[in-house]
Amino acid sequence: MMHKLLNPFARFRPSRDIPDRPTGASTAMQVVLPALLLVAGIFTVLPADALGSDVRVSASVSSTHVAVGQQVTLNVEVLSREPRSVSRPELPELDGMQYLSSMPQTSSRYSLVDGIAQMSYRYSYAILATAEGTHQIPSVYVSVDGREYHTRPITVRIRPPGDDGYRPQARRTQRPDMFLELELSEERPVRGQQIVAEIVLYFRNTIEVNTFHVTQSWQTEGFWREDLNRSPTRRPESIVLDGVPYRRAVLNRYALFPTRAGELNIPAFQIRASVRQSGRFRDEHSGFFDGFGQQRNVDLTTPPKAVRVQAPPTPPTDGQLISALGQFRVERTLSQDAVKLGESVDVVTEIRGSGNLGLITRPVFEYPRSFDTHRPREVIERNERSPQMSGSKQFRDVLIARNAGTFTIPENTILVYDDIRRQYERHILPALTIEVVRDPNARITIAQDHRIRLTPIRGSVTWSTPSRRTPWLTWWFWFALILPAGAFAYGYRAYHYQSRLNNDVSFSRKERAAQNANELLKTTSDITGTKEVYSVIQKAVSNYISDRTDLPNAGLSIDELAMALKNRNVRRPLVRRVRTLLEKCATIRYTPDPTARDMMSDLTEARKLIIELEAEI
């Protein structure tokens, strides 16, 4: 797909010299007064709900590779759609670096892009590198309207003091006039942690980039990937790399979630850009432009990267894990705290924040026996304009009251792993009280007494004395005796089975695995895209195997699923068919659209596999 640089991040043009800023009271009024009128007019026209967008706090540095004795600038930026009360950031203690001044350079800016207003508050601090090695700038805490936000840590690599002065020209010639980089927000994550991967284009000020398009599909084996390209892409910014001015622009943005621990490789990302240069242009693939100001296509590739993924630490035993990694808030509420007998009430569990939103599993609560529980509903609302995977996920458990009275849902503790603080956070859900009352206006049906009419029998009557038989020699005696015992045994077995389904999560997953998988496959009839159908097939088969083998529903590779089947003594040909189908579903997004016949054949194969696995697991 061709991307025009007029949108998403404007057209890249050489930066022109800015004339000297006018001085004087009259000139200042000419500049400030129209800006104030514009801001006032915009906030008058916008509705109230448009001004209540999410606040985003981020931190960045001017360079992540410096030498001892060099300075680096730390920028803390707060973005919002309306003016906010922002406190000065709380500076963390530094290792290997020191602040030159605790007083920041502050600036605020108002912008209007595509009809969307945005306020920006920036605080800049000068930091001096004092010790070589790899050091980290910890999270910076900022209070916005009385609520605390924090940024992600930043890693800075500091070289020896002489390394920056011996070969400055050699390093400058190593960088081409235009190159592509893959920049990760975290290079040593834990399994399931969100990594924001940005495809960044660096180019000299004399180059104009018109369009670009991706030339090869990007397969991230070992990562669950989410596209973040709908978020607002930053416009090109001016930076200095080893004393050479460059322009920096983010082309694409993705959220990567590692699904296993160990060393994972992120492959190269390739694009073809259409550029124009007023003079000569150098890159690693060709020599120069043929002439001046001519347009040509340039192929750019990011270097592959290796990421060392760590396993999360052992969780505490006083809480429930829901596979949540990130910055989340967990809340539990009732749709109503007083219901009538026979009515339903929803227990709503909402997880809101940023992180592995799509991989969070449903928390399991203990409900009073006087309620019938129905299949829960799951709703995900994603913030499309956020530069990372964020939003909310709701689980709604439907309860129907069978008895009147006051009932309590016990307190629960949910564990969330904070990938910034590198520790588990406990979210305590208070106990909830539900009052169930009888409906005084409910209709009561009374059966009427229809008297029996007796009719005399006319004619001759013959009296006879019947022979008396021993009761236990009749069939109806034994039938009447066995029937209650059989009914009691069947009811006890059904009650024991249902009780185990409600209380034993592992048994419930195993018993309902085939039903849940077939119901998920039925939803493919409402999906129009063939690749989305293969995503549902992969989820249905993977969830079935994990439910039957009592494994987590998320974060399992194809090899781990196949090994789980082998451990259950499943026939090798059947395991091979499962592996073939899952590998096809995993790679189908990077291939041309399959035909409808192939899709229906794979749907039938998935249903057959579930039936055959049901007989062997």
Tokens of 284: 């690693």
Q: Read off the DSSP letter of residue 417.
A: E
Three-state SS sequence of 481-494: HHHHHHHHHHHHHH
Q: Read off the DSSP letter of residue 292.
A: S
Residue 548 phi/psi, 5-degree rounding, is -70, -30
Determine the pLDDT at residue 302.
92
Pairing of strands 105-113, 133-137: unpaired
Please name the residue ranges forming H helices in 295-406. Answer: none
User: CB of 427 within 8 A of CB of 329?
Assistant: yes
Tokens of 245: 């001015």
Determine the pLDDT at residue 174.
67
* Cα angle, residue 534 at apex, residues 533 and 537 outer, rounded to 5°: 90
User: CB of 260 within 8 A of CB of 189?
Assistant: no
* Cα angle, residue 175 at apex, residues 172 and 178 outer, rounded to 5°: 130
How far is residue 554's CA from residue 233's CA, in Å, rounded to a whole number?
30
DSSP codes of every residue in 168-203: HHHHHHHS-SEEEEEEES-SS-BTT--EEEEEEEEE
Identify the helix (H) or strand (E) that includes residue 378. Answer: strand 371-382
How far is residue 483's CA from residue 456's CA, in Å, rounded to a whole number?
37
Q: Read off the DSSP letter of residue 353.
A: E
Could you give the 3-state DSSP secondary structure of residue 29?
helix
How far is residue 147's CA from residue 612's CA, in Å, rounded to a whole number?
55
Q: Read off the DSSP letter of residue 385.
A: T
User: CB of 14 within 8 A of CB of 205?
Assistant: yes
Determine the pLDDT at residue 60.
86
Please name the residue ranges forming H helices in 366-409. Answer: none
Determine the pLDDT at residue 46.
36
Please name the residue ranges forming H helices in 11-113. Answer: 25-45
For residue 88, what are the CA distances in angstroms to 137, 146, 149, 194, 234?
17, 12, 12, 28, 24
Pairing of strands 262-266, 270-277: unpaired
Quick one: how far is CA 83 from the chain centroid? 29
DSSP codes of every residue in 140-176: PEEEETTEEEEPPPEEEEEE-GGGGTS-HHHHHHHS-
Tokens of 133: 């090695």
Q: Which parts of the chain have pLDDT scores under 70?
A: 1-54, 111-116, 162-174, 230-234, 278-293, 442-473, 589-591
| Dihedral, CA of residue 275, residue 278, residue 283 and residue 289, to nearest 10 | 90
Determine the pLDDT at residue 279.
53
How far is residue 208's CA from residue 293's CA, in Å, rounded to a whole number?
10
For residue 92, what are the CA distances in angstroms to 95, 156, 188, 379, 419?
10, 15, 21, 38, 18
Task: Name 157's bridge partners.
Answer: 65, 134
Pairing of strands 371-382, 412-418: unpaired
DSSP codes of every residue in 333-352: EES-SEEETT-EEEEEEEEE
Could you give the 3-state DSSP secondary structure of residue 517?
helix
